[in-house]
A and B are shown apart, each in its own frame.
Chain A
Amino acid sequence: MKKEEILKFYLNYRLFLYPVVTAISSLILIVLVIYPQTMKLLSNQEAQQQISQRSNFLEAKALALENYNQDDLNSKVNLSLTAYPTDKDFANVVGILQNLIAQSGFNITSLSFGGGSSKDTIVQSYNVKLDLVGPLKFFHILLNNIEHSPRLIKVSGIETSAGRDPNSTNVTVNLEVLYSAAINNLGSIDSPLPELSEKDQEVLAALKSAVSSLPQTPATAAASPRGKLNPFE
């Protein structure tokens, strides 16, 4: 009975009911499926591009890192740390200065270390005061040798007083020896990889030649027995 009534109602009003039902179902499809999925598609398009870019960047970075020779990189790092270490290197500086001073024909009468200073936020330094005796005519060579040495040393003060003998002038040189603490941030996975520029390669080559021009001294003294083998003999 009820079914017949519904059928009758539909047959009477189907001209209006059919378009309304079509419109509602289309609207439901648009609101629940097409619109959200299209929005998601568009937003994922951006995400896809970002992931693609990151993936390409990481692949290029991995390839660039693989191309670096680890031994070569180690030797370059060691070279740079010899010139500009992470901490105060008194022994190394004494050795270098002794060589440079001897090469310039001077003798050291005293050598003392002073307090450090911070040139700026990155570069730190400690002072070395040198009292020397030698020929004044070679002093400019000594200055040049010091400032072109493979260790970063800057001249911060000079005092000379000529004696009667021109070959034994008293010279006092104040030096600033530069060093800097190692960087804490060694880069994240997504950080860009720095490249060694031509200028960097030139600096490394200059450092290498400066280091090789210095006479090689053994890093540690050979251990040898001292005194009598048997003290009770």
Chain B
Amino acid sequence: MQKLSIDLLPAEFKQAQSKRSKFYKIQSVGIAIIGIIAFLASLIIALRILQSQKILRLQNRAQEAEQKVSSLKTSQGYLLLLKNRLATINQYLGTSSKQAQMYNLVEKLLPPTVSISTISVSRNGEVSILATGNDGDSLDLFLNSLQSKDINEDKIKEISMENLSRGRDNLYRLTINIKPK
């Protein structure tokens, strides 16, 4: 059996009803949007308050630590002074100067039959030697040792012979200048 449905409502009423339902929809969407935005705003403000409190706590902690460090400033000063001194001490303590190294090298290479009358080591490490010896071979050995890179520990740059003479006492006298590397 078929049902009969007759729309007897006036067209103006239907239009007003559809407008109303549309408005309710817009109203609910608007309320939802404002609600969400208000919730977001309050959430952010709450987070800001929490953050401010945390920052304040951290600042207090830092201030306490700062006071502690201030009270120990003498120790810090001593430590910096010590570190500063040790850096230079470490650089120089127990290290031989060029002058001492050159003197020790000459002394090490000197044959037993050759003796040194005078030796001077200048500020820049240059060595002047007046050596005497009974025989030319020893002096030759001495010169060769000074010139050999393997024996002179690669510390000598240049050797110049200033004078070589033989006296009436049969002693050879040799004057040499040594330039360090």
Binds A, one of B45-53, B134-142, B167-175: B45-53
The answer to whether residues A200 and B86 also contact, given A37-B45, A187-B80 and a CB cut-off of 8 A, is yes
B4 close to chain A: CB less than 8 A: no
Q: Are B34 and A26 in contact (CB under 8 A)?
A: yes
Query: Of A40, A48, A83, A161, which contacts B118 at CB under 8 A?
Result: A161
A66 and B72: CB pair below 8 A? yes
- Residue in A15, A65, A139, A203 whose beta carbon sits within 8 Å of that of B75 in the complex: A65
B117, A44: Cβ atoms closer than 8 Å:
no
- Chain B residues, CB < 8 A from A14: 23
Write out the residue numbers on chain A whose beta carbons fall within 8 Å of the beta carbon of B164. none
Q: Is the CB of A15 within 8 A of B30?
A: no
Taken residue by residue from 79 to 109, chain B's Cβ proximity to chain A (1 for < 8 Å, 0 otherwise) reads as 1111111101110111111011001100100
B107 close to A140 (CB less than 8 A):
yes
A76 within 8 A of B: yes
With contact pairs A51-B62, A76-B82, A182-B81 given, residues A207 and B48 touching in the complex (Cβ less than 8 Å) = no
State in angstroms the CA–CA spacing of A83 and B103 once bound together: 25
A14 to B26, CA, bound (A): 10
Which residues of chain B are within 8 angstroms of A58 by Cβ–Cβ distance? Answer: 62, 65-66, 68-69
Binds B, one of A67-75, A90-98, A105-113, A220-228: A67-75
B161 at the interface (CB under 8 A from A): no
Which residue in A22, A51, A194 is a CB contact (below 8 Å) of B33?
A22
Main secondary structure of the interface of B (DSSP, over half): helix
Q: List B contacts of A40 (CB < 8 A).
A: 48
Q: For window 117-165 of chain B, which residues contact chain A by CB distance below 8 Å?
A: 117-123
User: Which residue of chain A is the closest to B50 with respect to CB atoms?
Assistant: A41
Are the C-beta atoms of A74 and B78 separated by less than 8 Å? yes
Q: With contacts A15-B22, A155-B99, A160-B116 known, is A65 near B69, CB below 8 A? A: yes
* B75 contacts A81, C-beta separation under 8 Å: no
Looking at the assembled complex, report how far the CB atom of B163 sits from the nearest CB atom of chain A, in whole angstroms.
17
Q: Let me know if B89 and A152 touch, CB within 8 A.
A: yes
Q: A45-B51, A180-B88 are in contact. Are A186 and B81 (CB under 8 A)?
A: yes
A84 B89 Cβ-Cβ under 8 A: yes
Give the A-binding residues of B (Cβ under 8 A).
19, 22-23, 26-27, 30, 33-34, 37-38, 40-41, 44-45, 47-48, 51-52, 54-55, 58-59, 61-62, 65-66, 68-70, 72-86, 88-90, 92-97, 99-100, 103-104, 107, 115-123
